[in-house]
């Protein structure tokens, strides 16, 4: 836990509001170890919460006003009343994530309960724009804050995750799946989470002792992500219709081979990625639980190849990053692109003894098109959202 983050938020709170905060909560970011573009197909994912977090310190108000300070944006403040319609702002975007959750919570107010006003300060160390879900971390942290109030019905972790997802979908306008919020709300220390995105069942899977998670930022600006995402989602839906099922989650590899002939070749490749990726997630959870990092490495390599060849969402620099890390760690661990694609990050599961070897190889052999070196974050799986 980054105590300095909490202390910084507390100092900003005292300076802004003249009295100390009485509530402290946090919610982590996440990284997905395997299971890409399976969530919106009703499938399986294997992410974990990470030790980069959003912290909120706050104090309830006697009236129905919100005063929200962003310590990471020069102490910018957003202020509004809970008794008036809450509107989406053109900018700043951070304020909309808070407003969206507050708006969702207001819709859920039971008779006889009113959401109180709040003075609050937000501070975070989740790397921005790195695909580590800083937005989900913020949204889940706001849900967690209001859930701590004794006279306000608390939200369970899954419920909080779904409120945060709806806020992003309907208020902010980001049509994300539910993996990011569930990861942040339900994280378990030193465990990955096997999440069934259809049933919302979450099963913790232990990460072997001595294994570190490396997240490597490529510094490739992701272009055309929204249109490419929408196109692939439409292709997956086309494939599901071809097989006569609600989603590709309901297709197995045997059915794909038997009944895939009449499908458009591109849609067939997209379907093959999703169907094979779901199978890899199940196998990866078994490998992790058995402490088999070599098998995990094989599955991560197959996942990356599927994203590159069948789903076509990697770029040459990302492929280069994966090759550099894989050459450095050999069969001792695994590495793959993580996230939506077309840039962003790769994730590696690496024995701690090889972290520095991989870091030196990246410093020597990788440069982004703009000349930047890769940025490396090393972390362990962390606990989910809660009070501090």
Any binding-site annotation on 37?
yes
User: pLDDT at residue 225 above 80?
Assistant: no
**Tokens 């996942």 correspond to what residue?**
303
What are the extents of the domains in the chain? Answer: 1-207, 211-379
User: pLDDT at residue 362 above 60?
Assistant: yes
Q: What is the pLDDT of residues 269-293, one digit of tens each?
A: 999 999 999 999 999 999 999 999 9
The per-residue pLDDT of the chain, averaged, comes to 93
Any binding-site annotation on 38?
yes
Yes or no: is domain 1-207 CATH 3.30.230.10? yes
Structure tokens at 42: 């009703």
Q: Are 336 and 216 in contact (CB under 8 A)?
A: no
Strands 375-379, 345-351: pairing kind: unpaired
Quick check: is 331 catalytic? Answer: no
Question: What contacts 180, CB < 8 A, 6 or more positions away?
Answer: 30, 47, 133, 135, 136
Residues forming a β-bridge with 25: 56, 387
Any binding-site annotation on 144?
no
211-379 adopts what CATH topology? Alpha-Beta Plaits (3.30.70)
Q: How far out from the chain centre does Cα 373 lie? A: 24
Any binding-site annotation on 39?
yes
Q: How far out from the chain centre does Cα 226 lie? A: 17
- Specify the pTM: 0.93
- Catalytic-labelled residue, pool 72, 119, 125, 180: 180
Q: What is the pLDDT of residues 293-302, one digit of tens each?
A: 999 999 999 9
| pLDDT in the model for residue 151 | 74
């Amino acid at each position: 836990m980054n105590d300095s983050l909490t202390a910084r938020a507390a100092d900003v709170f005292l300076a802004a509001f003249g009295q100390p905060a009485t509530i402290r909560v946090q919610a982590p970011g996440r990284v997905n170890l395997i299971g890409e573009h399976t969530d919106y197909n009703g499938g399986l994912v294997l992410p974990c919460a990470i030790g980069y977090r959003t912290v909120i310190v706050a104090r309830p108000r006697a009236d129905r006003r919100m005063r929200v300070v962003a310590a990471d944006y020069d102490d910018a403040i957003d202020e509004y009343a809970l008794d008036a319609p809450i509107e989406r702002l053109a900018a700043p975007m951070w304020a909309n994530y808070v407003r969206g959750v507050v708006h969702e919570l207001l819709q859920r107010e039971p008779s006889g309960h009113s959401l109180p006003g709040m003075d609050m300060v937000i501070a975070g160390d989740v790397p921005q724009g790195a695909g580590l879900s800083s937005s989900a971390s913020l949204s889940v942290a706001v849900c967690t804050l209001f859930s701590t109030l004794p006279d306000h019905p608390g939200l369970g972790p899954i419920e909080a995750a779904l409120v945060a997802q709806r806020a992003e979908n309907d208020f902010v306008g980001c049509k994300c799946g539910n993996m990011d919020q569930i990861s942040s709300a339900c994280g378990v220390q030193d465990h990955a989470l096997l999440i069934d995105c259809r049933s919302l069942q979450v099963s913790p899977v232990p990460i072997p002792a001595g294994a570190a998670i490396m997240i490597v930022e490529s510094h490739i600006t992701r272009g055309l992500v929204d249109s490419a995402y929408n196109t692939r989602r439409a292709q997956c839906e086309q494939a599901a219709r071809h097989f006569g099922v609600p989603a590709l989650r309901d297709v197995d590899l045997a059915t794909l081979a038997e009944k895939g002939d009449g499908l458009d070749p591109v849609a067939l490749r997209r379907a093959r990625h999703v169907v094979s990726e779901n199978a890899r997630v199940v196998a990866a959870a078994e490998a992790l639980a058995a402490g088999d990092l070599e098998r995990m490495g094989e599955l991560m390599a197959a996942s990356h190849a599927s994203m590159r060849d069948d789903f076509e969402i990697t770029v040459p620099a990302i492929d280069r990053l994966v090759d550099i890390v894989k050459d450095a760690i050999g069969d001792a661990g695994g590495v793959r692109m993580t996230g939506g694609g077309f840039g962003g990050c790769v994730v590696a599961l690496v024995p701690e003894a090889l972290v520095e070897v991989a870091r030196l190889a990246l410093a020597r052999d990788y440069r982004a098109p703009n000349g930047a070196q890769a940025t490396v974050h090393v972390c362990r799986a962390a606990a989910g959202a809660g009070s501090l």
